[in-house]
Amino acid sequence: MCHKDESGGANCMQVKVTARHFKAPKELRDFVEKEVRKLERYFDGVLNCHVILSSDNGQEVAEIVAHSKRHQFTAIESGQKMDRAVVVAVDKLRTQLQRHKSRLIEK
């Protein structure tokens, strides 16, 4: 999903998925990208997101780092299932982005 920036060009959020200590199947990567792209609905200033998936001692960890022009937002979640950890991390990031957007509007 792309949006137009001030210069009239299209600006798309880039999503990078990295798996540590395991090989992430294509289905998981596609799921992660689909979930992260939902963040564009809440704040269109996100330029890119880096999602780091790792597996440590039976815990599945999802870390999402989102960058906007002047800010960095981070959400980390761990759990028994990777897909659930990703959904919760995206929800945490959505909350941060909504709070940031409301602060920008108040100014």
pLDDT, one tens digit per residue, over 76-90 is 999 999 999 999 999
When pLDDT is cut at 50, 70 and 90, the band that residue 29 belongs to is very high
- Tell whether the model's pLDDT for residue 7 goes beyond 60: no
What is the pLDDT at residue 11? 56
CB pairs under 8 A, 24+ apart, for 19-23?
A: 19/53, 19/54, 20/52, 20/53, 20/54, 20/55, 21/54, 21/55, 21/56, 22/53, 22/54, 22/55
Q: What is the pLDDT of residue 8?
A: 47
Give the pLDDT confidence score for residue 9 in this predicted structure. 44
CATH superfamily of 13-106: Ribosome hibernation promotion factor-like (3.30.160.100)
Determine the average pLDDT of the residues in 90-97: 95
Q: Where are the domains of the chain?
A: 13-106
